[in-house]
Structure 1
């Protein structure tokens, strides 16, 4: 477009103008963005730190009392009684611990898989080939399906 504009200007003015053709753009063979493995690692660390920070914030903002002694010390008055839960919670605690361990193991596996895909093919190439034409629409469908399957599986673990 610039070459055509310069030609028109040259014809209109009537003097010779030297111009050169601009080379057409080419697609680079390697991405020019950030170092992907380093970027994926940074995102993993930041996400883990944000999750731990949010959990810590919830613990700090928790205003409940777990024992009658804590309540008595806080209120400064005698506590006449308390309601305790006498059910055994060992099975529930085991399921919670197993779910947390499975989630961490899954996170590490997905991270490793992303690093392998990035090294072999490049994530952008892999996503474009896997999702077809409309990447964002198909990607959101896959995300919703995966989240629904995960929630169904977790409900099956928690509910007897």
Structure 2
């Protein structure tokens, strides 16, 4: 009795209504709300077929965490057909597009980055160099942090480059 036809409008409304209601109910606890979105939601001006239209989401939550795993960009992005060969560009350009599209909204960005072996473009390992490029891109895009994801939940210190020490 509650169902509606699955149109772009109803999908977007379902997602954003849920986020707004969650934010309203959580307000007494003085907490932030956050939402994960698919990486292509940064680039697609429709709802990506799943209700994720970035402009609407940005008005309904405090933090947006696009899942910017280069392996998941199976179609690439403009100028980059093989995304695993360009982890910096995938993350930086995707965040630039998102931030431009949501400039008037108060939401901040904290992306998910790839920390697992590529599964779509030949099995390239994502180690310290590739992870470091993604982290650099997130910082250069002005995000408020980043998160790593590995589906096996396996992380190693060797996957990280040492942080440069600030000059005194």
Is the TM-score greater than 0.5? no
The one of the two structures with greater contact order (alpha-carbon pairs below 8 A, sep at least 6) is 2
More helix by share: 1
Query: TM-score if structure 1 supplies the norm length?
Result: 0.23
The structure with more radius of gyration: 1
